[in-house]
Amino acid sequence: MNVREFTASVTAALQPIYPEREAQAIAALVVEHLLHADSLQRLMRAQEQVPPETLAALLPLQTRLLAHEPVQYVLGTAHFEGMELEVTPATLIPRPETEELVNLIKQEQQGRPGLQVLDVGTGSGCLALALARMLPDVQVLAVDISAEALAVARRNAVRYAPGVAFQQLDILHEMPTGLAPGTLDILVSNPPYVRESERPLMRDNVLAWEPATALFVPDEDPLLFYRRLRDIGLALLRPGGGLYLEINEALGTETAALLQGNGYKSVRIMPDMFGKARVVCGRRS
């Protein structure tokens, strides 16, 4: 069996539980992982015979994939802003929409040296590390409630941005330490925002595997993290400092209303690549 046939075989095995295009994308990632190749190398090696040991190594991975385990957890890595980050079930899987949040901050803040950045709910560290790599002389503090997630983020930082600092804390009840009031330039967060009533809309590979504490909020108070982030920003952001929040697409207007006129100006709702409300941002008044 050559590499092209191998990839087609993995795709076919996954199609009972994934749409064809998604099965193809997952199969490509698996084959590249097994061959220690990137996408271009996989295509260039299409006619190369796959060694028996590589064929054998597929079986345990395929078994996990057919149990709806996300491919990123199966392979232990996820790609984000040019980084190959370690991910585990203790961390959310970084998504392309979150890359758009990074690029928005880059557009608005690039070229300003020495910024202080706070990333709340860092998970794998994807936002903190991406910003540390793209902003000059930046100081980044990343916080999370999960010790397991922070362990993953710290390992990712060793590889990509050793200068990032980390703290474990419950952001709903504690404040980050070491930041003087009115000195923070950027507060960024992708907090929990999926309402419990939205669980039926989510796929099995999210519900059964990704950390619920990083996903869900109660229906009766879906904006609790955003109120807290607003107040932390009021305490720590300098005048004109930026607050950047990934949001529930159904609650964009409500989230923006928490900020506008409540200590923030220039509040905007930004759409993602699919045209869905995805980011609310504003500046400290």
Whether the predicted pLDDT of 149 surpasses 90: yes
| Confidence label for 207 from pLDDT (cuts 50, 70 and 90) | confident
Q: How far is CA 122 from CA 14, 54, 118, 157, 171, in A?
A: 31, 35, 9, 12, 11
DSSP 86: E
Residue of 121, 103, 105 whose CA lies nearest to 273: 103
Cβ–Cβ < 8 Å for 13, 66 = yes
Percent of all residues in the chain with a pLDDT value above 70, rounded to a whole number? 100
DSSP 222: T
| Any domain includes 239 | yes
Does residue 101 share a domain with residue 194?
yes
Does residue 190 share a domain with residue 62?
no
- Average pLDDT over every residue of 231-260: 97
- Average pLDDT over every residue of 125-149: 97
- Average pLDDT over every residue of 171-195: 97
- Average pLDDT over every residue of 14-25: 95
Whether the predicted pLDDT of 206 surpasses 90: no
- Average pLDDT over every residue of 162-181: 97
Q: What was the pLDDT predicted at 202? A: 87
Does residue 237 share a domain with residue 117?
yes
Does residue 122 share a domain with residue 40?
no
Strand-by-strand arrangement of the 264-271 sheet: 165-168, 139-144, 116-120, 184-189, 237-246, 277-284, 264-271
Q: What was the pLDDT predicted at 185? A: 98
| Confidence label for 203 from pLDDT (cuts 50, 70 and 90) | confident
The domain containing residue 244 runs over which residues? 88-284
Q: What was the pLDDT predicted at 204? A: 79
Per the structure, the count of domains in the chain is 2
- Average pLDDT over every residue of 187-199: 96
Residues 115-124 as b/e (b if ≥16 CB within 10 A, e otherwise) read: bbbbbbbbbb
Which pTM was predicted? 0.94
Does residue 275 share a domain with residue 148?
yes
| Any domain includes 77 | no
| Any domain includes 47 | yes
Q: What was the pLDDT predicted at 148? A: 98
| Confidence label for 239 from pLDDT (cuts 50, 70 and 90) | very high
Does residue 246 share a domain with residue 189?
yes
**What are all long-range contacts of 94-100, with beta carbons under 8 Å and residues at least 24 apart?**
94/123, 94/124, 94/126, 96/273, 97/246, 97/272, 97/273, 97/278, 98/126, 98/127, 98/190, 98/246, 99/130, 100/270, 100/272, 100/273, 100/278, 100/279
Q: Which element (helix H / strand E) includes 272?
A: none
Whether the predicted pLDDT of 197 surpasses 90: yes
Does residue 226 share a domain with residue 103?
yes
Greatest pairwise CA separation for the chain in angstroms: 65
| Any domain includes 115 | yes
Question: Helix 147-160 vs helix 126-134: angle between axes, to the nearest 10 degrees?
Answer: 30
- Average pLDDT over every residue of 210-235: 96
Give me the CATH number covering residue 220: 3.40.50.150
Does residue 104 share a domain with residue 60?
no
Does residue 44 share a domain with residue 137?
no
- Tens of pLDDT, residue by residue over 36-47, are 999 999 999 999
Average pLDDT, the chain: 96
